[in-house]
Structure 1
Amino acid sequence: MMMSPYVTQFNLLCQVSLCIQYYSHSKVDAAYPGATQTWQIITREISMYCKLNRHLFVISLFVFLSAFSLDSDATETRLVVYVMAQDAKFIGDFTGGAQVVIKHRETGEILSRGITSGGTGNTEQIINAESMQQTISSDAAFYLARLSIKQPTPISIEVSAPMNFPQSIHQQSLSRWLFPGVEDTPVFVKLAGYIVEGQFELTKNKFNLNDAQLNISARVRMLCGCALSRDGIWRSDNANVWAEINQGPDKLASFDLGYRDESRFSGVIDIRSLKVTDKTRLTIYARSKDGQHTGRWSALISEALKNNRKEIYE
């Protein structure tokens, strides 16, 4: 039985559509997230048109192939981005990596987005390196961006890290030009700052905020996760760590936290005279002596009371 020209044309369209969808999924989707879904939607629309009027087949196929070919002359251009903690090592999996967002500097269009992945690198190699290129080891974390561009493009590279510690996220950005098909030397972005984590508990009267002492412990590290120590590469005596208790904009108390052991600082304060309420907040700050590295962590003191009750009654 002979198939009608319409059926033959429609089958041909389906085959072409499937081929293009496969190509887009394997080649284009890396640069254009969601491209495959776009082809599927267009294919479905063409099918509906063809069922209504077979004469639309030729027009639909032309439009479909034209849409696909719009980016056919775009060239995949790779860019490797390394993010380092200033004065320390690479920011990678250990602290959740660094988010890298590459945008068209003039339009704001996001061209690529991802997280650096890998290790913190080789300590000795980083310390002895005479150039940024020499700091790279096989396990150093990085993000590989694959961008599809047709012409020289002005871009901005925005970096945020470390992603596993929302209260300690620091940001940095830089700009440059990108050229189609030209794989530039790696981009290095340095972030200054500390990761600050806090813990505290009530002692004496654990059920009354106005009749208790507050034991405070802070963990302070470089953004790559490297520890501060008394005699190590990243010195604990270079960091000033202190805590503040605030009631809204009013400071009720401020006191230093002393170094105890690797990356840990602690202190105790009597809060019986501070008129603490459910809105009283404890904030821990860290600042290097040269001011290059800073960090903070904050929480409501009332959470300590809730935690104590939970531990006792459950």
Structure 2
Amino acid sequence: MRKGMAIMVGLVVWLAATLAWAVPTRIVVGVRARDAKFIGTSMGGVLVTIQDTETGEVLARGIARGSTGDTRLLMKTPKGRYTQLLVGNTARFEAVLDLEEPRRVRIVARGPLGQIQAMQEVSVTTWVVPGKDINELVLEMPGLVVRALSPVPHSMIKGPARVEVRASVTPMCGCPVDPRFFWPPKNYEVAVMVRRNGRFLKTVPLTFTGKTSLFATTLDLPEKGAYELIIYAYDKLTGNTGVDRTTVVIR
């Protein structure tokens, strides 16, 4: 009985000593779309995981939420050396780690969570020292969000058929592709690759419809078969690329 009590007392003392040494350390992470703004709540947010690189222990995990950020600051204002980008309610994930010693961590961001077909993953490793906050760590996520709108998957159509192909295209933050904004349609090559019964047939360009972020074309599908439509968007200035797929069956 006394031995058990002694062990319990020892554990309590050890735990108290451990907690006494642990120092709260703040890390703030934002995920910015390449050539655009931050990925936030409007796109479902971004899952951020902070993990010890040596042990694999997950130290923190959560979703970066908030707005896409200050448009003037991000897209117009020349950046100084120490310009802070996570201002106001700009999307971020904040974690407070209780650290007893320096730890090398891997910070992984995966999103946007609201557009599964467009999800990408970026990561960085860094040392974190107890009590030494990292108040702004910005990860850049490349890519474009392409969403096939028409035809709906597995459409059954009597042939021969003319099929309208429509797709929305945006940066990863969901910002508008439109001549009036910072992401003009002319910067994007949008096209559909057509396969019939698994064999490649042709690539047909989609053109901007005049409606924000919307591109379209019409396909002539004269023969029966199962067609796979692979829609892609590509920005040669940044390398940003996105893809989505849909299918149609001509009977």
Distance 1:209 1:252, change over 3 A: farther
Q: CA RMSD in A?
A: 2.4
- The answer for the alignment partner of 2:131 in structure 1 is 181
Instruction: Note the 1:160-175 alignment, pairs <5 A.
Output: 160-175=110-125
Q: How does 1:152-167 map to 2 (within 5 A)?
A: 152-167=102-117
1:96 to 38, 44, 47: 44
Instruction: Find 2:229's aligned residue among 268, 273, 282.
Output: 282
Aligned partner of 1:85 among 33, 36, 47: 33
Aligned-residue offset at 1:262: 1.0
Map Cα deviations across residues 8-45 of structure 1 (whole Å, 9 max, x no partner): xxxxxxxxxxxxxxxxxxxxxxxxxxxxxxxxxxxxxx
Amino acid at match of 2:175: C
Query: Match for residue 67 of structure 2?
Result: 119
1:143 corresponds in structure 2 to 93
**Could you tell me how far 1:100 is from its partner in structure 2?**
1.0
1:222 to 158, 167, 171: 171
Pairwise CA distance, 1:67 = 6.3
Q: Tell me how far 1:211 sits from its aligned partner.
A: 2.7
Once the two structures are superposed, residues 136-165 of structure 1 have per-residue CA deviations (whole angstroms, 9 ceiling, x without a partner) of: 321211110111221111111111121100
Higher relative contact order (CA 8 A, sep 6+): 2
Structure 1, residues 204-247: CA drift from partner, whole Å, max 9, x if none?
xx854543222111100111110111242111100000111225
Deviation, 1:115, is 0.8
- State the shift of 1:201 in Å: 3.2
AA aligned opposite 2:53: R
Residue ranges of structure 2 left out of the alignment (5+ in a row):
none
Name the amino acid aligned to 2:40: G
What TM-score comes out, normalization by structure 1 length?
A: 0.71
1:299 aligned to 2:249?
Answer: no
Which of 258, 261, 268 is the equivalent residue of 2:207? 258
Distance 2:65 2:156 in 1: 45
Indicate conservation of the 8 Å contact 2:194/2:230, yes or no: yes
Measure how far apart 1:80 and its partner are: 0.6
**Structure number having the greater strand percentage:** 2
Q: Unaligned 5+ residue runs, structure 1?
A: 1-53, 306-314
Name which of 56, 61, 71 aligns with 2:8.
61
Counterpart residue identity of residue 196, structure 1: V
Alpha-carbon distance in 2 for matches of 1:190, 1:145: 19
TM-score by length of 2: 0.88
Structure 1: distance between partners of 2:197 and 2:222: 18
Contact 1:209–1:271 (Cα < 8 Å) also in 2: no
| Contact 1:149/1:180 (<8 A) preserved | yes
SS of 2:108 mapped into structure 1:
strand
Indicate conservation of the 8 Å contact 1:100/1:113, yes or no. Answer: yes
Among all aligned residue pairs of Structure 1 and Structure 2, give the percentage whose two residues are the same amino acid: 27
Is 2:110–2:122's contact at 8 Å kept on the other side of the alignment? Answer: yes
